[in-house]
């Protein structure tokens, strides 16, 4: 989830959890504490300054841990009590900070990136995959809840209604995800495909936009679909950015299935791709990528590049997390690189 939506959700939860006995004058400080505490976990973006691999390994890690939440809440409450000049000290803000950080973790869990909620004990990544990372409907409900809470300051009903509506909305998205998965299973069954993994990822603009994957050990088949669209929509010259993002998602009956190989398009390329993929140099990428696919083999079979199809979003020109391995000669060890564009690569030390 984007950081602003996180912060706003923290403010909303802080208003909801303010006790009835809380003096009205203390509520603004509590809401402010929830706002900043819910944004706090995303401070882990600074690990990106250490390098792209460190970002993959540690983003949504320690600061997003349920195990460490009590300690982060204490640190946030102590600091915000100083900044906000809270007469009751950190104890008065601890609950708001704990709820805010918890709301942040929940907001990230519903996306498909993966969150390490048991750091530092485990590096397992968890994801419910119901909601796109920037969901304007989700954010809009939160903004509406805060606006109505500001109008009716003496009651928690607007905040409670908004939080309930958010839960219902995410539950509705979970039902949509089940429908997309069923569509993928029907596709595989109709073609006699066995030993495949079916997965679906939410996409931008609409909760009805999804990408469904039918993957086996060598290949990914996927389609960008809209669950309620009855006729294909085409992007026309002059359409805006939102229309460009929305147009590629086709009705289920008109779904266009694409195919990408995991390691290569022929036997020789697949052997090379497997060698690079299984090398120690790309251990971090094997841990991170859920839908890895060969992007290219360049420089006379010297470099092998991979992408994570989970982040392929039609209508968006830029693709994140492009990594690969290169070697000077066939028997040399592989070295990990980040691919910045088709002509530029950056070594990973």
Long-range contacts of range 119-124, CB-CB < 8 Å, 24 or more positions apart? Answer: 119/61, 119/62, 119/64, 119/65, 119/67, 119/68, 120/62, 120/65, 120/67, 120/68, 121/67, 123/57, 123/61, 123/287
Q: Are residues 292 and 213 in the same domain?
A: no
Which ranges of the chain does DSSP label H, i.e. alpha helix? 3-16, 27-39, 52-58, 69-83, 90-109, 136-151, 157-190, 241-246, 267-277, 283-288
Q: Are residues 87 and 7 in the same domain?
A: yes
Q: Are residues 280 and 251 in the same domain?
A: no
Neighbours of 71 (CB within 10 A): 10
From the list 15, 36, 32, 30, the residue with the least C-alpha distance to 153 is: 15
Domain boundary among 105, 128, 151: 128
**Inter-residue contact 163 to 171 (CB < 8 Å):** no
Whether residue 298 is contained in a domain is answered as: yes
Q: Are residues 306 and 257 in the same domain?
A: no
Whether residue 149 is contained in a domain is answered as: no
Q: What are the CA-CA distances from residue 42 to residues 6, 48, 64, 146, 252 (Å)? A: 9, 12, 8, 22, 36
Q: What are the CA-CA distances from residue 147 to residues 87, 144, 162, 180 (Å)? A: 27, 5, 10, 34
Domain boundary among 63, 96, 128: 128
| Phi, psi (degrees; rounded to nearest 5) at 299 | 55, 50
Q: Are residues 280 and 306 in the same domain?
A: yes
pLDDT value of residue 299: 76
Q: Are residues 47 and 108 in the same domain?
A: yes
pLDDT value of residue 339: 93
Q: Are residues 11 and 115 in the same domain?
A: yes
Q: What are the CA-CA distances from residue 139 to residues 4, 8, 23 (Å)? A: 9, 8, 28
Range of the domain at 32: 3-128
Neighbours of 335 (CB within 10 A): 16
pLDDT value of residue 130: 97
For 51, what's the count of Cα atoms within 13 Å in the CB-facing half-sphere? 12
Q: Are residues 47 and 86 in the same domain?
A: yes
Domain count, the chain: 3
**Inter-residue contact 16 to 156 (CB < 8 Å):** yes
From the list 277, 270, 262, 290, the residue with the least C-alpha distance to 323 is: 277
Strand partners, 303: 298, 326
- What's the pTM? 0.92
CA distance 5 to 11: 10
Whether residue 167 is contained in a domain is answered as: no
Q: Are residues 15 and 92 in the same domain?
A: yes
pLDDT value of residue 224: 97
Q: 8 is written with which tokens?
A: 């706003």
Domain boundary among 226, 261, 296: 261
Q: 126 is written with which tokens?
A: 């968890």
Q: Are residues 216 and 122 in the same domain?
A: no
Q: What are the CA-CA distances from residue 174 to residues 109, 141, 210 (Å)? A: 13, 17, 12
pLDDT value of residue 180: 98
Whether residue 162 is contained in a domain is answered as: no
For 221, the 3-state DSSP assignment is strand
Whether residue 138 is contained in a domain is answered as: no
pLDDT value of residue 226: 96
Averages of pLDDT over runs of 10 residues in the chain (349 residues) are 95 87 74 96 92 92 97 96 91 94 97 96 96 96 95 90 97 98 96 94 96 96 96 77 88 95 92 95 96 90 92 87 92 92 84
């Amino acid at each position: 989830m984007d950081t602003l939506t996180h912060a706003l959700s923290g403010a909303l939860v802080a208003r909801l959890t303010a006790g009835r006995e809380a003096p009205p004058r203390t509520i603004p400080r509590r809401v402010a504490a929830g706002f900043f505490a819910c944004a706090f976990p995303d401070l882990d973006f600074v690990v990106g300054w250490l390098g792209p691999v460190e970002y993959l390994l540690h983003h949504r890690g320690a600061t997003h841990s349920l195990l460490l939440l009590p300690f982060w809440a204490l640190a946030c409450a102590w600091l915000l009590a100083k900044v906000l000049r809270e007469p009751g000290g950190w104890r008065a803000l601890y609950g708001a900070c704990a709820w805010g950080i918890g709301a942040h973790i929940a907001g990230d869990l519903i996306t498909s990136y993966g969150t390490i909620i048991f750091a530092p004990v485990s590096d397992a990544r968890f994801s419910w995959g119901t909601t796109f990372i920037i969901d304007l409907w989700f954010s809009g409900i939160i903004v509406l809840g805060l606006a109505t809470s500001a109008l009716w300051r003496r009651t928690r009903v607007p905040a409670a209604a908004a939080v309930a509506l958010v839960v219902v909305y995410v539950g509705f998205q979970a039902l949509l995800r089940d429908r997309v998965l069923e569509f993928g299973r029907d596709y595989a069954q109709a073609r006699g495909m066995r030993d495949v993994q079916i997965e679906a990822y939410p996409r931008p603009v609409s909760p009805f936009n999804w990408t469904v994957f039918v993957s086996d050990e060598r290949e990914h088949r996927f389609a960008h679909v809209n669950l309620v669209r009855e006729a294909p929509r085409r992007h026309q010259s002059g359409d805006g950015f939102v229309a460009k993002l929305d147009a590629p998602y086709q009705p289920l009956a008109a779904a266009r299935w694409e195919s990408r190989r995991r390691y290569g398009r022929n036997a020789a390329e697949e052997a090379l791709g497997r060698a690079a993929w299984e090398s120690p140099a790309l251990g971090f990428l094997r841990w991170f990528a859920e839908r890895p696919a060969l992007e290219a083999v360049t420089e006379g079979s010297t470099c092998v590049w991979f992408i994570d199809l989970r982040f392929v979003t039609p209508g968006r020109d830029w693709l994140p997390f492009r990594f690969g391995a290169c070697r000077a000669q066939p028997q040399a060890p592989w070295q990990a690189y980040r691919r910045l564009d088709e002509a530029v690569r950056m070594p990973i030390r």
